[in-house]
Structure 1
Amino acid sequence: MGNYEQFHLIVKWKEQALMIESLLFLFLNIILSDKKQPVSSTPKTYIYDT
């Protein structure tokens, strides 16, 4: 049982990390677009589909 709980915690943590990371990407893109600098030619909408 202990092993399963540990694994579940790791999965939860990873999901949270992905969410935070995608939020950071979004934030960076907003800042960069405010400065009128092209980030890249590809849209960043693919970041993470859950």
Structure 2
Amino acid sequence: MPFVNITLYEGHPKERKDEIARRVTETITEVCKLPPQAVWVVFNEVTPPD
């Protein structure tokens, strides 16, 4: 089961993160021949440096 951990700066809208997760999942399912339910995409939002 693929687990994708994406770290990005906080403040991105939910719609953008949903689209990223959808595209990452789509690519992994195509390449690995897995169902979408087998792919986990997690976002870790961090504060940008000053």
The verdict on a shared fold, with TM-score over 0.5 as the criterion, is no
TM-score if structure 2 supplies the norm length?
0.42
**Structure (1 or 2) with the greater helix fraction:** 1
Larger Rg: 1 or 2? 1
Q: Which has the higher strand share?
A: 2
